[in-house]
Chain A
Amino acid sequence: MTTRLQAPVLAAGFLRSAELFPTRPALEVDGESLTYDELRGRATAIAWTLASQAGEGPALTAVLASRSATAFAGVLGVLLGGHGYVPLEPRYPPARNRLILERSGCRALVVDRALADAATELVAGLRERVLVVVPDEGGTAAERVFLREARPEEPAYLLFTSGSTGAPKGVAVSHANVRAFLDAIDARYDLNESDRLSQMFDLTFDLSAFDMFAAWEHGACVCCPDAKQLLKPSDFIRDTSLTVWFSVPSVAMFLQRLGALKPAAFPTLRLSLFCGEGLPDDLAAAWAEAAPGSNVDNLYGPTEATIACTAQRWNGRSAGHAVNGLVPIGTPLGETSTRVVDRSLREVPHGTAGELLLSGPQVVAGYWDDEAATAQSFVSHPELGHSYLTGDRVVQLTADGPLAYLGRLDSQIKILGHRVELGEVEAALREEASADALAVGWPRTASGAAGIVGFVADRSIDPVALRGRIAARLPDYMVPRELRLLAELPLTANGKRDRNALIALLEAE
């Protein structure tokens, strides 16, 4: 083996584990268990195909696969080939995935065998030629594993998040960004080769990167549930003897709601992590009781600051710190710096609400190929330098106390942990309906909303057909569960469209 380990490169940790623990399980997915050696073989085969056909140099390669061995081998193979990966969710509309392929400039696409036809169709209309790679089930024992070593500042992955103007925004997260995150959590979680981590997230959600790369750095196993197991995560935790659980709080809320958080229900868990939306204090308490051998950690972090950058250990009760019944988002991880600032980036006094500003090695350079959006959210802070303005309203009650989340400064909402700009949904509705439209998160949950209700100012529209056209454009969680037709949209006293009036309307029912 001529594996050269250069720590900043994301796949290096996996390769080290494959040397140390070749026969230990690296991945359980789709009824199949792959050892480190087997997964390395499959990933290397993909890397070779990419290298021999896609040309030299840094590049981005898409992975169209979900909850399959190819999905994970694809991600690793792309990284071993020195490329960054761009996950495409097969469930999302082809129009959405095609847009992402075009915007990212991918030259190759790794795809599950079962989705090969869909992939061919997907790339057919593109301006640039995109190579479709359908991996074999088997692998190869290649001599050289890293075919091209990426530089730390090159993208490890490129994800697209909802954009308020109607178009999704790309966030390119570099190897150095992810390295900084992995270093930050290393001591806190002390993972080892006997750990078994859940993989509750789609690859398009950046929290999936924690499960994969934190596990593989330490020789642990990634356990990916299938569609049925996703529906009944309580059985999944028990049946697969998970030791590390990571999900959005909505999944825990769902389990609590359906009576599955019974005391000591999950005895194998030693670590329970939540991120992506607010964690209600009473939910954290119920989870801690259901997983008595487990530390419960509430994580916070936008995609722009790489997976998670603050954390709060739940210690029985957040008394005095919980705001609006939510566990605080805590204190910065690793080398991240936080400031609570006003509009002129001046720090506000403790106890005063302000916008959370993040700085440090986890903050990405900016939005992918979008200078205007970058200029809006990334600033140069006089003391901290390159920083990201989160749009999150927070408060820090005391100098060394935890940060508490209060809400958004704009109209971004969380649908079961997925970040949604209502403006993007409204733009789609307006275009497809040729009428004015508003969207609100509904029904509300303790930490966000379970869905979206759209309001369109045209009573003559066929709502079923309109919903179908929206579903052909947007990811499922952004598609309104219900559309209501009004003669006109309500306005505030200042003449602005009034979302609150629509929420009041839904609340009154």
Chain B
Amino acid sequence: MEPTTADLVRDVILGRLDEQLAAKGLTPSDVPPSFDLLLEGVIDSFGVVEIILMLEQRFAFEFDFDELAADDLTRIGPLATYVGRKVATT
């Protein structure tokens, strides 16, 4: 099966956080879609901004803050799905 854009986004985010995940004893394959990067202590608020800016650059889309609930902003599944959808419609 072809990986979707959302899968690719997920891989890019977790690839970027490799070091931080390892510090928590995790590998990217351990991370479920509901995993909250902020609440699990993988990134801080600076990290969230960095990730979003990195995704915008990498996938050439513009983030619209109003389209994503605060709870979903730092959860890997919803975040990747959102970026995948934006990329498809841009």
Contact = CB atoms under 8 A, between A and B. Distances in A.
B63 interface: yes
B19 interface: yes
Interface string A207-237: 0000000000000000000011111101100
A379 interface: no
B30 interface: no
Interface in B67-90: 70-71, 73-74
Given A234-B66, A258-B52, A259-B63, A228 B71 contact: yes
B63 A231 contact: no
Interface residues of B, number: 20
B44 A258 contact: no
A259 B50 CA distance: 16
A262 B39 CA distance: 28
B44 A476 contact: yes
Given A258-B52, A477-B46, A231 B73 contact: yes
A361 interface: no
Interface in A292-338: none
B15 to A, nearest CB: 16
Contacts of B49: 254, 450
B65 A258 contact: yes
A450 B53 CA distance: 12
Residue of B38, B66, B71, B73 with most partner-chain A CB within 10 A: B66
A255 interface: yes
Contact of A451 (B46, B48, B52, B66): B46
A122 interface: no
B45 A230 contact: yes
A464 B52 CA distance: 23
Contact of B46 (A235, A258, A262, A416): A416
Interface residues of A, number: 22
Contacts of A227: 38-39, 45
A255 B39 CA distance: 21
A258 B38 contact: no
Nearest to A476: B44
A231 B46 contact: no
Nearest to B74: A231
A228 B46 contact: no
B73 to A, nearest CB: 6
A476 B63 contact: no
A134 interface: no
A93 to B, nearest CB: 13
Residue of B38, B39, B49, B63 with most partner-chain A CB within 10 A: B49
Contact of B19 (A234, A254, A416, A464): A464
B39 to A, nearest CB: 7
Contacts of B7: none
B64 interface: yes
A353 interface: no
B70 A232 contact: yes
Contact of A234 (B52, B65, B71): B65
Interface in A456-485: 464, 476-477, 481
Interface of A: 227-232, 234-235, 254-255, 257-260, 262, 416, 450-451, 464, 476-477, 481
17 contacts: A228-B70, A229-B70, A231-B38, A232-B73, A234-B65, A254-B49, A255-B65, A258-B52, A258-B63, A258-B64, A258-B65, A259-B66, A416-B46, A464-B19, A476-B44, A477-B46, A481-B46
Given A259-B62, A259-B63, 14 more contacts: A228-B71, A231-B38, A231-B45, A231-B73, A232-B70, A255-B65, A257-B63, A258-B63, A258-B64, A260-B66, A450-B50, A451-B50, A477-B46, A481-B46
